[in-house]
Structure 1
């Protein structure tokens, strides 16, 4: 793909801004100052290909709906595509006619690359370049990771793989306990155990359920009987409570009959009466007030005296009053203008006399008027003459001075002397400085080597289980992996955990036994509680005695020893009677204390079950101890080949870590020793080259200089180069200066000739312009300008005189017209003709204001009078309406006077009070009846004998108390059975269900976490395999090309790249310098950047050879490069542009100078972005 044209039609601050990429060039350098729009154009390229995002920050000038980017693309097949990208969710690709194109129309050009892949592979800036160098360091130079990171542009490959590994270990770790999967497996194991323990035998379930249901049925029957008796008692209690209330209700009904003739009044009758009386009172008061005010207003209106004729002239009088000031001014200005006109006429006569003419009336003033354009031309020529004259004078002065300076500077240059050639010295010095401060590095290495050696000695002295020397330790190797130790640690932790669980289980069961024994002791604190076994033993003794008696009664042979053993000193019959009584008493006791018997049996069963569990746990504990002994035997055998009697696995893990650290320090010491030797040799070589180069520049160089340190030699070489450079620059400056002055001298001579030619042309133009002034051609210039001023003064004075005459005539007409209007007003009002115009109009205006005020008062008072008359009539109407309403109230109460109406009101209130009391009593009765009507309650009470109701209620209460006692007793008997049923059956069943549900939840979570663990492990595996495959396919071609590019970018301080193996037998990337292999960790930041850029360019070249080429977008990647490396980079990008288009963005102007020095103008296209053009 190639960009042929890009047009930012409406994007960011761009409006219809085209960028044409020249077809014969593939390296395009886009330059623009800060804020010119470089970053916006960069964004437009990606958004053109992949769409403008929803939250675009480039819509501050153009609205979102108007954002447009236009482009024309081509590909290697010769196809072209012109299209427009708009902002939207769908159909965002349009043709030039505005019609939507399919979304896949760009596929032949962008190779199905995603936006992220395009950014990573084919876009590079100084930040991603530096990140790429750091990624090479993080990968420890791994060939596969380095090639993959450079080709894909993904600079965090190592970090991604570490994140996958860390995430998988957070989920599961062999032998671990804290990771989520390990923890859930432990919980699932415990829940399975709990689920097994919570199961019950079927026979026990059925027996316990039968006992529970039988006891529950007995309790339900007692509860039903209790409820029936309680309902009867409550009914009698309600009727007993309602009887006196019914009597009171009958009394109120009888009393209510005496108010049957009182009429029903409205609820607000009292309020209506008060309102009507108040309205009557207010209406009388308002009528009196209005009548008083009416009389006062009529009196005031009668006293007014209004001049209607004066009011008729109001507009004319106001007009005259408003112009009285103008009249005074015009009258005064008339006399002033007449005097000014006479003065102007005198000035004109004086000017004409000076010009050689007689009076004004003898000439035509217009003959003296010079056209404005001609006057401007004369003045311009006058100014030009002064400037031209001074310029010629100043040029002559400069010419003489410069001529003398040129001669002096040339003589100084010719006598300067020889300048030494320091090119070789600079080359050697640059090479020495590129190597860096070797001596400081050697000193640092010496210190570091000493620190490493001391540190190794110290750590070895404190390393347990070791008493050998440092040399013996150097050849001592442990081949046991950390993972093996971790497995032993995990196994030991599991052993300890199982041991702790078994000991805890034994302790819990012993606690259960103690609690059960304590429960039995509490039950037997007052009396011994027999068990089924006790009853069975007593019955066996009783039956044995009965068999002896039965044999004796049958006359069979009697076993005397058996009888003696059975009854001792007692008779057999007495002993049997005693045993029979004991058995009956024991049976009765068990029946009476059935609840305690059940609880004791439960406790005995708990003791037996716990003893069984303790025995099983002790067996498992012994087996576990045997396994642990075997474990420690294997652990000791593991270390036996190394002659070490190991500590615990955890301690040995720390021991191996310290062992590894000491080994690493020894390895680091060897590396630094090797590097120290190399640098010492290199320092000697650089000193030799520097001394030789200095001896070629400095005559009679002191031989002791060769014994100086490298730093002193570099300092001396810098001093020599600086002095030689200053001398060279000084001579070069002298040469440039005298040549520059000579060129200036020639230019001044040309300038003098030009000015003299301008002076001739000026004289011709001056004569032509001054002809109307009637002066001779050789007349002085100042005289001519003075005559021009007289002409101007004459015409200007004439114009002033004409203007003054015009104003005087206009003022006279205004004054006469104003006086005529005054006379008309005086005649209309039949007043004498005024002598003083101003006094007349002021007096007349004051009279007018007084009349207007009177007129206004008349209108205002008349309005008030009409309003008060209306209020008076309204008060009368309200009084009439109030009287009518009072009559209506009297009729409602069926009375004739107000006093009678108040009596009726009082009786009506008493009637209402009785009705309210009756309603309240009925509400109470209905509440007591709880669903029975009042009549139904009366009927029920009539059926009862109220005298015996109290005794009947007392009997029912006694029966309830007896039922409550029986129910309590049955509850106590049923309690033990219910408790065991709920705890052992319901409780254990619930526990089993809860444990099963929790176990299923954990299994589901385990499945999900296991999927995540597999995904993380699989992702790491796939990524590693992908990197390895990419390495095997691309290593040779990419590294071959990158090696050459790396040598160029480092200015041949590295010969190239090679591949070797590290201590883990992994292929790593190394730099070649002086036939030595340099690891990436020993490279500077700049060198790592150059290595990454070499790999990146080589990868892009290979991609473009095998696929449709994609443009390489570069944004200021040379920020950290010096000028020489920048030039090399530009030439490399030029070579890359032969295989794919390269667009290089920058805002650094000095790069344009480097471009001109490195490439010809035909090899690249320079595109300027101008902010002014963008914003226009």
Structure 2
């Protein structure tokens, strides 16, 4: 797909912007200064393809309404498609006419490409270029995944190496560590061996251990019994120390209670009863006295209040009088306002009287006209005013239309004279694209000539006269040669590898033999086999001794018995020595086993390598002979496959270039034939416009001049047609304007007659102007309401006088019945009557409120008298029970003594309760028996001594328990045979684990060496085709400073990219400069785009200022690379650097690029 044109409407900072992209070359360099809209065009292209987002910064100036992005696209078949995109939620894609389309219209061109993928793969600016180069440092992103795949699985092998190293480190190392399996087994072997030696049993040792255990048990029993006795003594002493102070207090209280034996017959609370009765009697006497005083005061207040009966009976008349006085008072206050209101209304009528030429006292009510007469005069006045403006406007419009019609007719006469009244036979739009088509055809013609020249030079350099002779030469293609090279290289590599393996295997076998000789020269080794043989000999020596003992068939000869015992002891000692040495010589034994295994493996490997070497040599010779027989002429001309591969590639390129040059030549002829009819039409148009062709003038200039002349004629003809339409429209309009003016004049004459009649009905002058009549009518309309207001106000003043007379009559009547002397002013008299009535009413209310209080006071006094009598009776009963008189202090004295006795009894109860709490359940008699009247300090001293002894006994018991356990464990150890057997088993198991750890460590060491050698071979042979292509592009952009790209695995097992210089030195990405890293990322991106275009419709590659950090030489190389890439994929390079534009001019001259310049906004 190729972008031919991009159009912006109300997008970003542009009200309208169109960017046309010529089709003459694949690489288009779009040059413009800052703010010219380059970045905006990039964003607009993405929005056109994938939709305008709901929120976009490009709507900040013009808003979302009217935002449109249009584009013209050309697919691989040359089909042109013009579409537009608006902002919205659905069906935002339309065709050129505005008809909505589905997004599937673009899907067939975009395929599976999304907005993010388009921005990532097909859009590149200096920021993403820099960030992409930085991601190469960590092999991140798409390029990172490519590097991982290029590793061919080496990353998993690196992980396997790490796992091998971890496992080997956990097994064995020369540095001792408790975490390694070998040293764990060695520690377990030493511990088990010590335990076996400790379990040797003797009778003396057993008896000594038994006696020690019995003695320790007896000592522990005695210590525990004494500890129990001391604990009981401490408990009794602690109880006495707590209880003795309470016993002493109990004795003191018993002595105090003896002084109150004469009061035992009285209740315990007798003193409280007496005090309560005396208090109740005194309170009743005081309350009675207060009640009597309060009652007397209330009676005096009630008698002092007297009420006038006449005022109470006249309450209704007085309330009505107060209401009338309120109305009269308001009327008096309102009278001045009403008089002022009448005066103001009369002043408002003065203007009307003046206009009617009447005196100030003239009655206007009789002269008041009807409302219909006033409305008629008002209507005629309004019509006169409106018609005056309409007549003036009609006169002005009629004159204006006449002037415009005259002007248009004059222009029409001039156009007819100049010949602009007839349309041109041609239009400028017919020749708008002719210049570009002619330039494109010229470029194709020049490209075809250049391509043919280059093909001829290339074929001559290869030693052939023409392309047919080159094509007839029998030669394998490049793929077959590379396959042959790969096959031979694989065989040669395998041969070299087998030779190296054979040498390594022979060296390993020799080293293993020397190791075995060195280990065996030091004597027999304590291997598992030797230990098994020694144990078998020990069992054979023990068997006759055991049988003789069990069968009671012991030889009588002491020498025979001694010989049997010596043989058994000799074999037992040998077996034990071998077992002990096996632990000490575990490493020595493991080395011997390992050396023997290495010798066998190395011998087998060397024999296998010899067989493979012979087989690979024969296969390589047969392959070389078969290739030479298949292509004898090529094999004779090129002795090496590298030279033949170079020739085959150049031969294929030359044949392809010749075919492409032929296509270009055919394309040039087609362009020429397509342009011939249009050029003939162009010459006809020149003759029609009287514009002959000038010698030496450029064809594009002739087209521009003809288009300008046609455009001017089209403009003048359009003006003529517009003036003609205006003339046809203005003629009837002018006639209608004259008729309207005549109608208005006729209507004005009829109005004058009606106006004179209406003024006569109002007794006004006939020459009164309509403007003045309006004022008079307004005055009459206002006078109607004013006269109505004056009549209403006068009526209110009459009612005020009537209300004041009624108030006076009522006051005179009340003054006679109430016998009051009143002032002359009516309102003052009414206020005095109301005040006197309010005083009498207040006194009445006070008497009504006091009467219930007086009755309540009398009832309270009766109740208080009864309460006093009851209190005196209770006190007399208490004095009688004590045998004393009520009067005097005898009863109070007995009450005081009873209260003191009650306190002592309460204290005694508390002391007894305290004794019960601290006595641990013992009664007072038992406590006194334990106490035996001993001194309290002596008890405390004995408690301290007992506690100290208890602390000593706790220490002795703990020591006795520990000694007893130690002695018993020693004794139990003699009776346990399983411990010895377990220790022997653990010792044997530890020896086996040490041997297994050593064998596994040897296997891991050999495996690591083999994997490392395989990784080195894979790294040198395997590389992804995409990485290889990126390396070729990288070498091109760096002008040969780098020969290509390799992939590697770092020390952490992660895939990394390295650049390979011509010298073969590898340069990591971190060691590259920023510009070189950018060029490396660009090479990967272009290689990915080539791979994408090989399988689907190619999309335009858009780059924005990606050459910022390139030097001049590499920048020119990158431009050349983009031009080559643009032969199959459209490339749009935006830049604001003049150096890039100037450098691109050489490509434009070669027909490989096109430069489009855009200007800054506004």
TM range (shorter): 0.3 to 0.5
Relative to the length of structure 1, the TM-score reads: 0.42
Larger radius of gyration: 2
Relative to the length of structure 2, the TM-score reads: 0.42
